[in-house]
Amino acid sequence: MSTLAGKHIVLGLSGGIAAFKSAELCRALVKAGVTVQVVMTQAAEHFMTAVTMQALSGRPVYTSQWDPREANNMAHINLSREADAIVVAPASADFMSKLLHGGADELLSLMCLARPIDQVPLIVAPAMNREMWSNPATQRNVAQLKADGIHVLDVGQGDQACGETGDGRMLEAEEILEDLEAFFTLKVLAGKAVLVTAGPTYEAIDPVRGITNLSSGKMGFAIARAARMAGATVTLVAGPVHLPTPRGVQRVDVRSARQMLDAVQLNADAADVFIATAAVADWRPSHSADQKIKKDGSGQTPELSFVENPDILATIAQSPRGASGDLFCVGFAAESQDLLAHATAKRIRKGVPLLVGNIGPATFGQDDNALLLVDASGARELPHASKQALAVQLIDDITHRLK
């Protein structure tokens, strides 16, 4: 379940071509369990119709401070008092300037001005041409809005409707949704640094072949996202996977187990928590051919010999910081059978306080999972749920252990 579930959000649209993304954002918010009340400026109606937003939100759209549907004719008061937050997406340069100076000549800006500041946060997603975004006046306005306690989201970079390319695009709907989820998540890991490994490793046989496994990296990426939402500084060391980097997470891409170990050791000294989610290959070919190994027609298969890969989890757990407990280490075990027995033995063998087990073949590549948390006192199951929901539960469990 999303951290936004049960929230009531006023979604404001100011004028801008990015308003088409607001339709997708509205749909995503509703899907996440949010009640969405749309308020549009007159300029916004040139880019998106109120009928569209009403259909997506399931609620009548407000466009005027003189709306007769409000018995007291005070939509700016009534709508702001009901909200858990006001989100303006897109927020044009003109609208942000209006917010800065307390302008209130239409319903949306009037509502932002009249909101109870201590109870209803205001979150804006800027959207404009790259020159408008970089203009000193806009940057001064953004800085002052932040100083006034308004939460200003980042802008995206890329092609713009005008044909130019650069900063100033409104974030995509999923990016804004992720930022909103993080905004409403308690920052229980604020001030902590979390290091996560995710995905498989790839051990080359020759330039076109190698040894790997079916891990998709989804669980590790979900954990990195959940840790960042909880306020941690997160570094994600990822094997070869095709997944987008979670918002606000520093990503380091690697291929082999030895590369992963190097990256982990490079970042471990700065970490407070190490979560080894990656499915690291146990072995690698003792020799990787420089060129593709070809069939010679004899029917004979090439002879391959293997050496054991470094044990990343054990190496970090048995380092001075890991052994002293300054670095809290969490291991993962992907098994095919006898999960409790194998996970218990692995926790002891690796020397970690917490080992998380799952049945690999049942979860590789899937969006859901079930976890078994094994520590010195026994085991506790996290029942079948989405990997993101499980990641949130795991981060909560680790937070309590840190305390």
Q: Are residues 130 and 233 in the same domain?
A: no
CB-neighbour burial class of residue 335 (10 A; exposed 0-12, middle 13-18, buried 19+): middle
Q: Is residue 246 a part of any domain in this protein?
A: yes
How many domains does the structure of the chain reveal?
2
Domain that holds residue 111: 8-183
Q: Is residue 188 a part of any domain in this protein?
A: no
- Strands, E assignment, 30-147: 35-40, 85-91, 122-126
pLDDT average, residue stretch 25-52 = 96
Q: Which CATH number does the domain housing residue 129 bear? A: 3.40.50.1950
Q: Are residues 131 and 236 in the same domain?
A: no
Catalytic residues: 162
Q: Is residue 25 a part of any domain in this protein?
A: yes
Residue pLDDT, tens place only, 61-102:
999 988 888 778 787 888 888 899 999 999 999 999 999 999
Can you give the pTM of this predicted structure? 0.87
Amino acid at position 257, single letter: A
Q: Is residue 2 a part of any domain in this protein?
A: no
Q: Are residues 293 and 170 in the same domain?
A: no
Q: Are residues 217 and 301 in the same domain?
A: yes
Q: Are residues 179 and 197 in the same domain?
A: no
Q: Any idea which of 11-25, 71-85, 300-314 has the lowest mean pLDDT?
A: 71-85
| 1 — pLDDT class (breaks 50, 70, 90) | low
Alpha-carbon distance of 356 to 155, in angstroms, equals 37
In this predicted structure, the answer to whether residue 161 has a pLDDT above a threshold of 70 is yes
Q: Which CATH number does the domain housing residue 372 bear? A: 3.40.50.10300
Q: Are residues 136 and 220 in the same domain?
A: no
Among the candidates 157, 183, 209, a domain finishes at: 183
Q: Are residues 322 and 254 in the same domain?
A: yes
